[in-house]
Structure formats: C-alpha cells, structure tokens
Amino acid sequence: MGNFTALGIRLAVYMLVSLAIATSVRELARARTASTLGDPTPRLWGRLTLNPKAWFEPFGSGLVPGLIAVLWTVQVLVIPAAYGKPAPVDPSYLRRTRDLVFVSIAGPIANLTLAIVAGLLVRMAIFPLEGARALVVFAFTNAASLVFHLLPIPGLDGARVVGMLLPPQAREVYRNADKYLPLFVLVALFVFSTLTLGFLTTLAGAICDAATGLPCEQVMQIG
C-alpha cells in the first residue's frame, strides 16, 4: 500500500476538489437539460444551481470519496467515485421518450467536456509541474465520473438508459431498486474491488490519456 506522503496528500486534495466540481456540474447539467425539455421539477426543487448543498448525499458524496481519498494519500490511484442526490425529474413532463435519454446522458457529457477542457489546458504546456498535475487529476477525475455513472447500477445514469430498454414491469422493478444504490456501490467498489476498480480505473485512465496526450497516472505520481 505504501506510506502517506506529501505528494499523496496533495493528490487526494486535488481529487476531492475535482470530484466536488465534477458532481456539481453533472447534476446541474441534468437539471438544466430536464428544465429545458419542459420539466419544471428541478427548478421547483431548487436544483438549477452549482451549490454543493443542493446535491450533497452523506454516503455517496462524503463517505465514499473520503475512503477513496485515503487510498490516494498513499498513491493508490483507484477510480474517484461519488454520487449526489439526483436532480428530480418527472418523466410525465417530457414529451418524447428520447428526452429522458438526453437527461440521462447530460451528466456524463458534462464530465467528458470538463475532462477535454482540462486536457486542452495541459496540452498548452503553460503551467508548472504542480499546476499541470492538478489539471491532470481534474481530467482523470472527470473521466472517472463519466465511466462510473454510465455503469448499469440502479440510481446511476447508465441504469436510466438501460431501464428504457426493458419491458414495463421489469423497468419499474429496475428503477425502484435505486433505493439500494449505496449497497450496490459498496459491492461494486469494495467487494468486487479488484475486478471493478481495475477495469474502471484503466478505462478512466485511457480517456484521460487521450484528453491530455500524456500518461495520466504516471504524470500524477511524478515526484
């Protein structure tokens, strides 16, 4: 596992800040998309905001990122994962079935956009090593958020898209399982950690590498 280091602590701080921004932007993107498509629910619930208080969820936004941050302090760079209280969406306000797809993919697209923007800034090579490292962590964290939220786990964006492909009765059962999201996340990230974290971290790293043009995991750990 290694030891706590000054670099590891900096990486953990960069990751937590990046994860908070990634979650705020993702949830705002979902809420704004739903509102634009005719659903007033996010506006009525006060979710058209970047304020973290609007989406903070103790387990998904606090405990899970905290546990992952501990691993980062010893430079075990597993995938940054977090989720917040999803923006409330009432499908009855959406005129077309595909509108729900747009709402579901708005968050991942927002995270991909942030990763690409950070990658472009890194490619400009105008930042010192520590600034470039922080940007690489930001790109990696947003790539990780994209990958994590596309998993077909009830309560995440990927499950909302998959649910649309199921028969009505199965779709209802699948969507109602989102109340068990904390359990699913625990199982995915900690029970099957070797398989899940290895695959997801590799995939997030590949997206980050493509965005920045650099081997992200190596850059993050340069002393």
pLDDT tens digits, residue range 49-62?
Answer: 999 888 999 999 99
Query: What integer pLDDT is reported at residue 2 of this predicted model?
Result: 53
Dist CA 7 CA 221 (whole Å) = 8
Does the pLDDT of residue 196 top 50, yes or no? yes
Query: What integer pLDDT is reported at residue 31 of this predicted model?
Result: 94
Contacts of 75 (CB under 8 A, 6+ apart): 2, 5, 7, 8, 11, 221
Domain ranges of the chain: 6-220
Dist CA 208 CA 203 (whole Å) = 9
Radius of gyration, CA atoms only, the chain = 18
Contacts of 31 (CB under 8 A, 6+ apart): 42, 43, 47, 48, 87
Report the Cα 194 to chain-centroid distance in Å: 19
Query: What integer pLDDT is reported at residue 214 of this predicted model?
Result: 95
When mean pLDDT is compared over 9-23, 175-189, 192-206, the highest value belongs to 9-23
Burial of 150 (0-12, 13-18, 19+ CB in 10 A): buried
pLDDT tens digits, residue range 102-154?
Answer: 998 999 999 999 999 999 999 999 999 899 999 999 999 999 999 999 988 88
Query: What integer pLDDT is reported at residue 1 of this predicted model?
Result: 47
For residue 5, name the pLDDT band (cuts at 50, 70, 90).
confident
Does the pLDDT of residue 191 top 50, yes or no? yes
Dist CA 104 CA 160 (whole Å) = 6
| Per-residue CA distances from 56 to 23, 29, 59, 173 (Å) | 9, 16, 9, 26
| Per-residue CA distances from 103 to 34, 154, 160 (Å) | 6, 16, 9
Q: Yes or no: say if 55 and 136 are a contact pair by the CB < 8 Å rule.
A: no
HSE-up of 218 (CA within 13 Å, CB side)? Answer: 6
**Residue keyed to tokens 């994590």:** 148
pLDDT tens digits, residue range 65-103?
Answer: 999 999 999 988 888 989 988 778 888 888 887 898 899
Rounded to two decimals, the pTM is: 0.91
Query: What integer pLDDT is reported at residue 208 of this predicted model?
Result: 97
